[in-house]
Structure 1
Amino acid sequence: MAEAERVIGTPDMPDVGDEAAASADRPRGRHRVAVLLSIAIVAYLIDLVTKTIVVKKLEGQPSIEVIGDLLRFEAVRNSGAAFGIGEAYTAVFTVIASTVILVIIRLARKLYSLPWAVALGLLLGGALGNLTDRIFRAPGVFEGAVVDFIAPAHFAVFNLADTAIVSGGVLIVILSFKGLDPDGTVHKD
């Protein structure tokens, strides 16, 4: 069990009356929140910069072949969810993204696991990236279309925010299957 705790960053649980140990755990929790926020900011900024470049340089232009027919960059506006599903529900997706962001912020208070910090940071950065599009891009506030541009052959067009969201989601599934909780504890089912 000690090896698992070392790998996932499980905090040493203090005795109920041990104030010194409890205060020693707080910085470790703050460190995990700092990791979460750092990853979220980096993911968000990379997404924002790439979308800005795509809008300025690629929108209205022919697609760019990156790897022959396998991968190209093509500017697409998506008012729906993944794969263009639900284009009439842009406001609903805005509310969902806002809720995800609020849940992550609330969960961050109890965060003691470094892998969970990474996963939630990716999810938060991606959600913020696509939410920014929905709020500030045409056709209007809370109705904006997300800028997608990565177009693999025989697959939907997506962006780096989507990549961060999916990566964070996959990591969360893996952590859940391993029994690792955001508070750093390990549970066996």
Structure 2
Amino acid sequence: MSYVFLVVLQLMALVASTLLDLVKNLRAFAGVLVVVYYVFAVFGIWLFEGAIKPPTGMSVLTMENITSNLSTACGTYEQLGYWPNNFDDFAAAIILLYDVMIVNNWQAFMEAYSRYTSEWSKVYFVCWWLTSSVMWVNLFVALILENFIYKWDRSHSCSVTDVERIQYETSVQFLFKEQIQEPTEEELVCQLHQHPHLHVDC
């Protein structure tokens, strides 16, 4: 029991050290992301400032649930009450860009701005989605995996002999190789014979 606890503790220490190193390595990554956020926010303000106005007599800061009185389609910008999410100021632009980055009803924002301004506004939102959600989020996940695999390699190389170190391969698949059971030749032949579209002659 104590051995299992020590193994789990070592794995948790590995994860914790990976997260700590990740914080150190995130400075450059976060700096570039802040610059990209700033550029897109300023560009969005320049393009769409004042394009969407809340209904007359409604304050953007004191949002009341009056959207039910509006005859709008379900899931639209107006029905969801996204009036504070606009490009009228820098803070609101950052929130809107963050909503698009985490893919929080980003199609509602794109559809609304294409109605209120022009169809060309979709280019802006698609460019931001590709830059933030597709590229930056995947880079962040890749950074986590790279740090974890590097830490795993270092911890493994300190506890194996030279012969085992030569045979060791650094890939995500081999991290869980011990839990994978390869089928025997008899099982493979049996499965091939049972295949409905494959006729194997003995």
* Same fold? TM cut 0.5: no
Higher RCO (Cα < 8 Å, 6 or more apart): 1
Larger radius of gyration: 2
Specify which structure has the higher proportion of strand.
1
Specify which structure has the higher proportion of helix.
2
TM-score (norm 1): 0.29
